Amino acid sequence: DAGVIQSPRHEVTEMGQEVTLRCKPISGHNSLFWYRQTMMRGLELLIYFNNNVPIDDSGMPEDRFSAKMPNASFSTLKIQPSEPRDSAVYFCASRGQGASNQPQHFGDGTRLSIL
Amino acid sequence: GENVEQHPSTLSVQEGDSAVIKCTYSDSASNYFPWYKQELGKGPQLIIDIRSNVGEKKDQRIAVTLNKTAKHFSLHITETQPEDSAVYFCAASKGYSTLTFGKGTMLLVSP
């Protein structure tokens, strides 16, 4: 089974540039989560979708961050304009439908460096 | 909201020893407790989970215990091996809610 697929794996760009991170969830999963991981703050939930609809975006740091899920098999997280403090590893995770308390499955992340 | 505390932040053991990582949670309604292992350059991988209707679950060398009264749960790894070296995260949630993660424990197993 293919797991959660994220691209790119690494991104290095200059401050002020637009950054787009991509995620393909596990087929059949109906919930998708975007996390940010840093040494200082650990794993932070940015936003999550259920059936392609954003449910909770309270973790999105500011208006420079936006996320979309146009269909069940694709999501993007966009930062515009990017700043050095956005440097982190960004993870996407998906969760299956059905009974409650299903586990989340993570991708291998995008390591983002803003110079 | 839920708050999950995890201890210790680092743990060093000799190969073959046991390792125990402990977590406490604040929301008594939480009923799902997964553990994740994160290796360098990888995403967190689910290694075991427990639901509040059981007190203990075991999978080969890994076991998790849950004390609902005290609101704490623990990960036990027996006969540790160098490949167990990684960062381990506990988490808690209820129903269809999102997971709240602990800060992680870096486990180092020395040969």
Q: Map residue A104 onto helix, strand or coil.
A: strand
How many Cβ atoms sit within 10 Å of the Cβ of residue B45?
A: 15
Q: Map residue A86 onto helix, strand or coil.
A: helix
Whether A101 has a pLDDT exceeding 80, the answer reads no
Percentage of chain A beyond pLDDT 70 is 97
Which pLDDT belongs to residue A111? 97
Q: Do B46 and A103 touch (CB under 8 A)?
A: yes
Which pLDDT belongs to residue B1? 84
Which pLDDT belongs to residue A102? 82
Rounded distance between C-alpha atoms, residue B72 and residue B87, angstroms: 19
Least confident of A84-88, A99-103, B43-47: A99-103
Which pLDDT belongs to residue A100? 66
Whether B52 has a pLDDT exceeding 90, the answer reads no
Which pLDDT belongs to residue B106? 97
- On whether the CB atoms of residues A24 and A74 are closer than 8 A, the answer is yes
Which pLDDT belongs to residue B32? 93
Which residue of A57, A100, A102, A111 is the best one to mutate when testing the B interface, meaning the one whose CB has the most B CBs within 10 A? A100
pLDDT average, residue stretch B3-21: 97
Which are the contacts of B97, defined by CB distance < 8 A and separation ≥ 6?
A: none
Residues A31-83 have pLDDT tens digits of 999 999 998 888 999 999 999 999 999 999 889 999 999 999 999 999 999 99
Which pLDDT belongs to residue A49? 95
Min Cα distance B110 → chain A (Å) is 23
Q: How far is CA A5 from CA A25, A86, B44, B73, in A?
A: 7, 21, 13, 31
Which positions in chain B touch A101 (Cβ < 8 Å)?
31-32, 51, 93, 95
Whether A98 has a pLDDT exceeding 80, the answer reads no
Distance of CA A103 to the CA centre of its chain: 17
pLDDT average, residue stretch B78-88: 97
Average pLDDT for chain B: 94
Which residue from B minimizes the CA distance to A44?
A: B101
A34 touches chain B (CB under 8 A): no
Which pLDDT belongs to residue B77? 98
B10-14 vs B105-110, strand pairing mode: parallel
Q: What are the tokens at B24?
A: 């406490």
Which pLDDT belongs to residue B63? 97
Helix (H) / strand (E) element for B73: namely: strand B72-77
- CB nearest to B101's CB, from A42, A105, A109: A42
Which pLDDT belongs to residue A1? 64
Whether A99 has a pLDDT exceeding 70, the answer reads no
Which pLDDT belongs to residue A61? 86
Core vs surface per residue B81-102: b (16+ CB within 10 A) or e: eeebbbbbbbbbbbeebbbbbb
Which pLDDT belongs to residue B40? 93
Which pLDDT belongs to residue B3? 93
pLDDT average, residue stretch B66-71: 94
